[in-house]
Structure 1
Amino acid sequence: MFKNRVKTFVLPFSICFVVAMALYPDSKLDPENYSTEGLELDYNIKEDLALNSQSYKNENTTTIFTPYLGKSFEGFKEALAFKESRGNYFTVNTLGYLGKYQFGSETLKLIGIYSPKSFLYNPELQEKAFVANTERNKWILRNDIKRFEGKSIAGVRITESGILAAAHLAGPGSVKKFLRSSGNYNFSDAYGSTVRYYMKKFSGYDTSFVKPNKKAKARI
């Protein structure tokens, strides 16, 4: 009996409340009157990911809260992008390399992109291109990953993510030469970044998301 009375009261009240909010969207609500305290809540995010967060202050000293990507694949992408272009989709460097991940036009052709200008102004395509190029590099380097992962070469512990990052910098051929020469062949780009440096800087990320694909293409 009591439960039936509660339902009879609560349901009309809830409907009236929703209607009132719809009719008067600008009305002010005191958030202190509403609380989840004491409720049993369910979440669909892992606790360790929820706790791994960081905050920083911008130039206006406003505290900004951001998720901490850690060693995830997203963390790998964003760390590499920051090194390449500080995450700027629309930048072109002095050598003509394009976008957030600094692609050259010849590499773009390998993954099915023939218009550098269109590529530069399409962030979604740039993200697709990064994944496709990484999939292609992982296929080319699949045997070297199996052979050298976990070993130490030139003072660097070799990991899959380090290999893939170095391949993004110098191409898979230069990475093969570095690994198979025990680090004696160490390609350096025009700005002084080397295969060894990328191997070390981007080691230990989880790149298992990337599947080896000889024919990977970037499509949207």
Structure 2
Amino acid sequence: MKKWMRFASPLIVTCILLSFAFRPKEVKVPEALKVTKPTEVLFPKNRTVFSTAIVAPPFIGSSYIGFKEALAFKESSGDYFSINTLGYLGKYQFGIGTLQLMGVHDATNFLNDPALQEEVFQTNIARNKWILRRDIKRFEGKKIKGTQVTESGMLAAAHLAGAGNVKKYLRSYGRYDVKDAYGTSIAKYIKKFSGYDVSEVLPKRNPKVSKI
């Protein structure tokens, strides 16, 4: 028994000392440092952790510029140097045949000249307004398939499908409706681009661009 106590006593003493060494000492927190209510978490407001780019069409109201930019966004997202899978060119997606009607015969020059593209658009819309001048007077304000027909809607549809097809659509009261290769119809453009002020566009018979 004495032999056992001789070996066990140091172990017992060591355990007692270790238990005092690892016992956390009680710390009294001053009242001024105690948190008694939620506090605002500060974060640098000029620091961006995640950034998401949102592409949206420009909103310039219902003016003629608004009409042009909305139509361009639908056609090419406003890209002057765009060529689609069917070979249509530029910001407003013109085909070679239409360019030739406007007096433009160099597609490469057209694609690389934004000012020329804008003039071609202006020239073409004046031409379409001349072709549709009687139909604009006759159908503006009327409803076809539940959609009110407006001058801007007719001109946008003429840009899509040609003024001749818009005439057929209007005069058939929507029974004759063509779609482009991507499935967009005359009726959709008449609805989508209704209500813009395009009064500054003057109708012109067989106009040609001056910038060649």
* TM-score, normalised relative to structure 2: 0.72
Distance 2:72 2:59 in 1: 16
- Equivalence for 1:148: 139
Q: Output one character per residue of 1:171-212: Cα deviation in whole Å (capped at 9) or x when no partner.
A: 001100100001001110000100000000000000001000
Of residues 200, 206, 209 in structure 2, which corresponds to 1:209? 200
Deviation at 1:68, TM superposition (A): 4.4
Amino acid at match of 1:173: G
- Equivalence for 1:137: 128
Amino acid at match of 1:186: D
- Cα RMSD over matched residues? 1.9
Asked whether the equivalents of residues 125 and 219 of structure 1 are also in contact (C-alpha less than 8 Å), the reply is no
Q: Secondary structure of the equivalent of 2:124?
A: helix
* TM-score, normalised relative to structure 1: 0.70
State the identity as a percent.
Answer: 61
Distance 2:101 2:84 in 1: 21
The ranges of structure 1 where at least 4 consecutive aligned residues each deviate by more than 4 angstroms after the TM superposition are: 59-62
Say whether 1:125 aligns with 2:116.
Answer: yes
Deviation at 1:215, TM superposition (A): 2.4
Aligned residue pairs total 160
Say whether 1:108 aligns with 2:99.
Answer: yes
Amino acid at match of 2:140: E
Say whether 1:196 aligns with 2:187.
Answer: yes
Asked whether the equivalents of residues 90 and 98 of structure 1 are also in contact (C-alpha less than 8 Å), the reply is yes
Give unpaired runs (5+ residues) of structure 1.
1-58
- Equivalence for 2:31: none
User: Higher strand proportion, which one?
Assistant: 1
Give unpaired runs (5+ residues) of structure 2.
1-49
Of residues 154, 171, 179 in structure 1, which corresponds to 2:170? 179
- Equivalence for 2:11: none
